[in-house]
Amino acid sequence: MSYDSSPSYPYRSPQQYPQQTPAPAYDMTYPWQPPLDPPEPAPRRRPPRPPLGHHSDLRILRGAYRWQRRTASLTALGYFTLFLLLSAFAPGFMTSTVADGLPIGLLLAVLQIPVTWLAIVLYEHTARRYVDPIADRIRRESELDAKREATR
């Protein structure tokens, strides 16, 4: 019996295969359906600078207000808390006298008034130095933005 060594199917090398193109993608079920991807919108012109109320401006202003409130509040409330803690936990110190029978507790209580004035002065100072310039700049920019919008 003879043995045929030829393969039962013709062998082709990879170079002999024709180039196959991928099948077209049929995204639409029906030809009258709109395409799945919307058309890309036309590019818009970018404004020369961010409009009023840009979050970084307002964030800076909020931070300045927060610093202002903390400075004034901690001055007044810190002193008052110190006075209460000394009254509760150091009664011997608060009843000791300074001069001519004036107790330290009374002296510290009377000093509450100047400390409150100091808190008010600190509030005014931080407002003038930090908060008001930022608020004025935002106000000027908003007026310019309003004028620009009116001319459009």
pLDDT of the chain along its 152 residues, tens only? 555 565 555 555 555 555 655 555 555 566 666 666 766 777 777 666 655 555 688 888 888 889 888 888 888 899 999 999 999 999 999 999 998 889 999 999 999 999 999 889 989 998 999 899 999 998 898 888 888 888 87
Q: What is the model's pLDDT at position 67? A: 87
- Contact 105/87 with Cβ under 8 angstroms? yes
- Residues 36-57 as b/e (b if ≥16 CB within 10 A, e otherwise) read eeeeeeeeeeeeeeeeeeeeeb
For the question of whether the overall pTM of this predicted structure is more than 0.75, the answer is no
* Helix and strand counts by DSSP (H, E) for the chain: 5, 0
Q: What is the model's pLDDT at position 46? A: 64
CA-wise closest residue to 76 among 119, 114, 21: 119
- Contact 75/115 with Cβ under 8 angstroms? yes
